[in-house]
Amino acid sequence: MSDFQARMAALRERFVAQALSHRETIAACTRDGSWAELSETCHVLAGGAGMFGFAALGDAARDVEEAIDNGLDEIQLRALAATLLDEANRLPEGLNSIRTRS
């Protein structure tokens, strides 16, 4: 593994740890209707997810962020947030898959 690959692997690990810690924020914001905070969290997740190989998480986060920006009703927002949580819960599997390919 090159120095660059090692640095990227470390950054990916850090991103996953941070993304996993955002699960409680996503759940709480969805429960409480704190859409502005949820939008900010989704923006952060969407930005890093694709870069580190987690496209499905990035897409789900982007969907929630765009839904909030477009004023979708709460039922739709909650459904999209549930999908986002599902993707966040799959992160450990995705990370293991990336590790075995490296």
Mean pLDDT of the 71-93 span:
95
Res. 102: pLDDT tops 70: no
Higher-confidence residue of 44 and 98: namely 44
Distance, CA of 44 to CA of 55 (rounded, Å): 14
Res. 34: pLDDT tops 80: yes
Q: What is the pLDDT of residues 10-31, one digit of tens each?
A: 999 999 999 999 999 999 999 9
Distance, CA of 75 to CA of 48 (rounded, Å): 27
Q: Which CATH class is domain 3-101?
A: mainly alpha
Query: C-alpha angle 32/35/36, rounded to 5°?
Result: 125
- Each domain of the chain, given as residue ranges in start order, spans 3-101
